[in-house]
Chain A
Amino acid sequence: MAKQNPKKDVVVIGLGWTGAILSMELAQEGLEILAPECGDDRNTVSDFQYPDIIDELKYGIRYKLMQKPSKFTLTVRRSMDEIARPYRHLGSFLPSDGVGSAGVHWNGQNWRPQKVEYRLRSYVEETFGADVIPEGMTIQDWSITYEEQEPYFDQFEKVAGISGKVGNLNGEIIESGNPFEAPRSSEYPLPPLPHTYDAELFRQAAKAKGLHPFPRPAGNASKAYTPMACSSNPAISAASASGSVASTIPSPHRRPAFWTR
């Protein structure tokens, strides 16, 4: 007999960044949420704690945090006349599952879009002429602007504990940051990661050529970080105290009115 679960207000399918943030926002509105997740259930502790999480064979080689190709996979062919075959061993790209999903093993590069990317079609037309865009090419302007999204980038960076250096603070250019970025309303919540030797050599060489090297905005915590109760949603808890692993795991688990299956 089919098991009947009590009715909830909302069902959110899948608990990656998207599902987890959405769930937190909805839970804060007082709604009851059921979140079925087809991969493993996970918690910051014990699933991401030292030393188990730096088991290279388990995670780096055997891809414990990724989707299992024996459960679900894609077929790939390199040309139209090849037979498409199942992707049996992950390598060139790494789809994920489980609570946190791709957000627990992303590289943590946290770029914001450039302003011009919001109006790419207009930009190309203005700069190169309307006739450079071939018919059928789907290049579009977005329906929103950078300014409308800026507060949410700011919020996300504080939720995820992004390390970096501001280069454009409300229009004021700051030397050590990225001078090409769109204006930011505040500094990153964490200072930039220290330069490794190779990065430092690169920085010096670029600087000597008159270029503008800057530290990359990173999802790796440069210091221990507890997400601030930012304006409306402390949605995600950042987990990595050592700074060596970019493990941020969404944690709606710890809220009442939340169930995962």
Chain B
Amino acid sequence: MTPSRRLTPRPQDEALTALEAGKVGLPPQLRDFFYFLLQNTKEGYFADPKYGGNHGMQAWVHIGFPGAHGSYAEWVNNYNADYPLSPVSISGERA
């Protein structure tokens, strides 16, 4: 959910900046709205695809996160080596 899909990028940034700075005049019970928006956006981007974001595990491919492999035991002593396996999701899909 973006603040408004109809806004172009610059007004979007301005709206988010104002929201973060508490300058939008939200009622007190919505004080933490920006915090939740930011937190849920990050979660959507980085969490397992079962939560509906991170499509095709592309966020994990981008940062080189291996996902939900069952064990790394055989890699512990393999110092400074790149992990060669592509990300895997909780449901078992591979990227």
Contacts and interface: CB of A to CB of B under 8 A. Distances in A.
Interface of A: 50-52, 54-57, 61, 194-197, 200, 242-244
9 contacts: A54-B90, A55-B68, A194-B76, A194-B77, A242-B71, A243-B71, A243-B73, A244-B71, A244-B73
A242 B70 contact: yes
Given A51-B90, A57-B51, 6 more contacts: A55-B48, A57-B47, A194-B76, A197-B80, A242-B71, A242-B73
Nearest to A243: B73
Interface in B1-56: 43, 47-48, 51
Given A51-B70, A51-B90, A244-B71, A57 B76 contact: no
B43 A57 contact: yes
Dominant SS among interface residues on chain A:
loop
A55 B51 CA distance: 11
Question: 8 smallest A-B Cβ distances: which pairs?
Answer: A57-B47, A197-B79, A194-B76, A242-B71, A51-B90, A51-B68, A54-B68, A50-B70
B73 A52 contact: no
A90 to B, nearest CB: 14
Interface string B55-95: 00000000000001011110011011000000000101000
A242 B76 CA distance: 13
A242 B70 CA distance: 7
Contacts of A195: 76-77
Contacts of A52: 90
Given A52-B90, A56-B47, A61-B43, A244 B79 contact: no
Nearest to B70: A50
Contacts of A61: 43, 47
Contacts of A243: 71, 73
A55 B43 CA distance: 12
A61 B51 CA distance: 13
A50 B90 CA distance: 9
A249 B28 CA distance: 42
Contacts of A200: 79
B31 to A, nearest CB: 12
A34 B51 CA distance: 38
B46 to A, nearest CB: 8
Contacts of A55: 48, 68, 90
Nearest to B65: A56
Contacts of A51: 68, 70, 90, 92
A247 to B, nearest CB: 14
B76 A196 contact: yes
Contacts of B73: 194, 242-244
